[in-house]
Structure 1
Amino acid sequence: MTTSQASPQIPPKCLQEHDLSEECKELLSILPKEKGWIGSYIYNYQGFWTSSKIIQGVIACQQHFQAQDSDIILVTTPKSGTTWLKSLLFALANRMKHPIFDQNHPLLVKNPHDLVPYLELKLYIDEQVPNFSSFTSPRLLSTHLPYASLPKSVQESGTKLVYLCRNPRDTFISMWHFSNSIRLDYIGTTNSIDEMFDLFCKGVSIYGPFWNHLLGYWKKSTEKPNKVIFLMYEEIKQQPKIQLRRLAEFLECPFSIEEENCGVVDEILRMCSFENLSNLEVNTNGKLSTGEKNKVFFRKGEVGDWKNYFTIEMSEKLNHVIEQQLQGSGLRFLYI
């Protein structure tokens, strides 16, 4: 499917290739590549698929990032509910510094992606060695990197990793919509659902294969439960209070009885809800510093939207792939 649009705009930083280093260009020439979800191509680096500019950010991050024991890093595959969990994480971890009932709360005036920045997609794309001096403890950061590709300092430190997983059907539909919205704005074309579904089932998705990504963190969450917490998007939707309390316990900042009685848990969930965040001025009209429109991060936020797109054949094909890949792991998805 091809859609025309006049005068495509300047693409976001993760798609710009004019300032790739010679080292990165040389590396790209020998990496496996496939059709890109957003840009022209997607490359396989260290066993996962991503764009050329992001690879440069990944390399810089791996070489230079020095984790602190107090760091909290949110990890997801793209389109797994990252924006929502960033807002929950920010409100939860900063509730003493920024009381949740404050009329000037940062979440009311800034997009969650600006408050919890990506390592390889923002900080290390902007600069080879970012300045972290303005960050307060705990530093809240995020990444889409598979566990094996995290900087060694993250793996070896006391840094806590919050992993969010979403069922593959909704993840795929959300990723397809998101990548097409970016493509339409900056390239002027879109990709068909059939073509991208076939790539997804082959494991060729942004930071995929999808199953490798989540299995890496699933395994670590069972081996090191104090370092990695594994959250399911659908479970947070079904039991938001229970899962938020679970996250607070993991981060060693549990809610006090006074906070519970004052409605702090309810207010965090209300402020960070899709309905509230998607209607804020900053998220309807603003842009990220990396170039993307804030509104592209708020589409539906639903569980089960895949039913509007999947054929019986698509469901059966993906079920077969997932069943094969997750065999023996004990990991199961909720399809509501």
Structure 2
Amino acid sequence: MANNHPNSPLTPSSSRERKLGHQENDHVDLDELISALPREKGFGSLTLILYRNFWCPSKVFPAVHSFCRHFMARDSEIILACKPKSGTTWLKALAFSALRRDVFPPSTASHPLMSSNPHELVPFFEYTVYGQAGELLDLGSFSTPRLLATHIPHDSLPESVRQSGCRVIYICRNPLDTIVSFWHFAGQVWPKVWSSGQSPKEEYFDYCCRGIEGFGPFWDHILGYWKASLEGPNRVLFLKYEDLKEDTAGNLKRIAEFMGVPFSEEEEGDGVIEEIVKLCSLSSLKELEVNKTGKRAISFIDNNTYFRKGEIGDWVNHLTPAMAEKLESIMEEKLSPFGLKFRVK
């Protein structure tokens, strides 16, 4: 288990070289690189750049570029990967609580989840680690194994991640629900991005169906990790949100074992698994004061925007039958040939 200090996601390095070196080196050719890459107008007039075969939001492109060029993965690394709005916050809470339970028992009143949003405890490479203006986080202050996260597709990850012995836990969700979840999230976080003409929902849906979306196309994102999990199940653990929802305790055991910290018989008998499941449940996290009133230190996004319904099949209340039929057809064409299906109702 952890043998250094708990995660310290907001601790920048004190070394100027660690803070600025990579960004300064990248800045020399970054503008030239951006101008040479294909770009598209995305949802809400956001700019997307085609980089390493996926659509990268322009605002995080410098951080993504730096991450892909410079990150050196350790064999002990554990990386949580996902497409936005696929159960990310929940997986971070579960994985952190299981991995660090020797330091922070789930029953303790001072558990980090009581005072920190899961995104602060398990930072994203592209939004936090490499995303702060002018400085990098001091990854050396993190516990071993380090627990980090990314939205980047598998085949676009830094070479060091794919060549090292580090482990990746990927969670995906029925694209019908993912689209609806992101649409609600975007409406809260970026209320001014809605454009005229089509309704925001129809506009975003159209972009997703064409694959022009942040870190997409969604089918390539899902398939990349799915294939990697089939080729190396000891390297990539592939989870579906729906399965995690149906059997949280059973899948939490899989997650802990995959991370190298399986629950002992004594822990199971003492109800540690159930304590973690309860601590990390959507209803529990939503009621914490930090998630009612706090903001993410890096992005200034209200923490409460990360907790909505979390229901399976909520898409039926928001998508028309024609929209659902179109997306199901895309899923059948893109995913089914590889043995990947989602429950749509």
TM, length-normalised to structure 1: 0.90
- Which piece of structure 1 moves more, 47-56 or 198-207? 47-56
| Aligned residue number for residue 318 of structure 2 | 309
Deviations 1:139-193 (A, max 9, x none): 0100001111111111111111000010000011111111222211xx4646611
The equivalent residue for 1:96 is 102
Residue equivalent to 2:156: 149
Correspondence for 1:285 among 289, 293, 301: 293
Is the contact made by 1:86 and 1:113 (CA closer than 8 Å) also made in structure 2? yes
The answer to whether the aligner puts 1:237 opposite 2:245 as a matched pair is: yes
Change (3 A) 1:272 1:38: farther
Listed as ranges, the matches of 1:141-290 within 5 Å are 141-184=148-191, 187=192, 189=194, 192-290=200-298
Opposite residue 261 of structure 1, the aligned amino acid is: G
Query: Secondary structure of the residue that 1:68 maps to in structure 2?
Result: coil
* Secondary structure of the corresponding residue to residue 80 of structure 1: coil
Closer, same or farther: CA 333–327 of 1 in aligned 2, 3 Å: closer
Matched, 1:58 2:67: no
Q: What is the match of residue 49 of structure 2? A: 43
Distance 2:306 2:45 in 1: 18
Q: CA RMSD in A?
A: 1.8
- Give yes or no for contact 1:73–1:161 (8 Å, CA) kept in 2: yes
Query: 2:145 is matched with which residue?
Result: 138
Kept in 1: contact 2:194–2:200 (CA 8 A): no
Q: Distance in 1 between matches of 2:106 and 2:209?
A: 41
Structure 1 vs Structure 2: percent identity of aligned residues? 45
Distance 1:217 1:177 in 2: 26
Deviations 1:96-151 (A, max 9, x none): 01111111000111000000000112110115643212111110100001111111
Structure 2 unaligned blocks of 5 or more: 1-23
Q: Which moved more, 1:161-170 or 1:130-139?
A: 130-139
Distance in 1, matches of 2:81 and 2:50, equals 19
Quick one: structure 1 residues 52 and 167, their matched pair in 2 at CA, closer, same or farther if it must change by over 3 Å? same
Q: What is the TM-score with the length of structure 2 in the denominator?
A: 0.87
What is the number of residues matched between the two proteins? 316
Post-superposition shift, 1:22?
6.0
Kept in 2, the 8 Å contact 1:123–1:130? The answer is yes
CA contact (8 A) 1:73 1:162 kept: yes
Contact 1:169 1:306 survives alignment (8 Å): yes
Deviations along 1:230-286, whole A, 9 cap, x unmatched? 000000111111111111221221111111111111110100000010111111111
User: 2: distance between equivalents of 1:302 and 1:91?
Assistant: 22
| Letter matched to residue 319 of structure 2 | F
Deviation (angstroms), 1:71: 1.0
Give unpaired runs (5+ residues) of structure 1: 1-18
Residue by residue, what CA displacement relative to the aligned partner does 1:6-30 show, whole Å, maximum 9, x if unpaired? xxxxxxxxxxxxx994633333323
Q: Is the 8 A contact 1:42 1:52 kept in 2?
A: yes
Q: Distance in 2 between matches of 1:53 and 1:193?
A: 22
The one-letter amino acid paired with 1:150 is L
Residue pair 1:60, 1:128 contacting (<8 A) in 2 also: no
- Could you tell me which amino acid in structure 1 is paired with residue 308 of structure 2? R
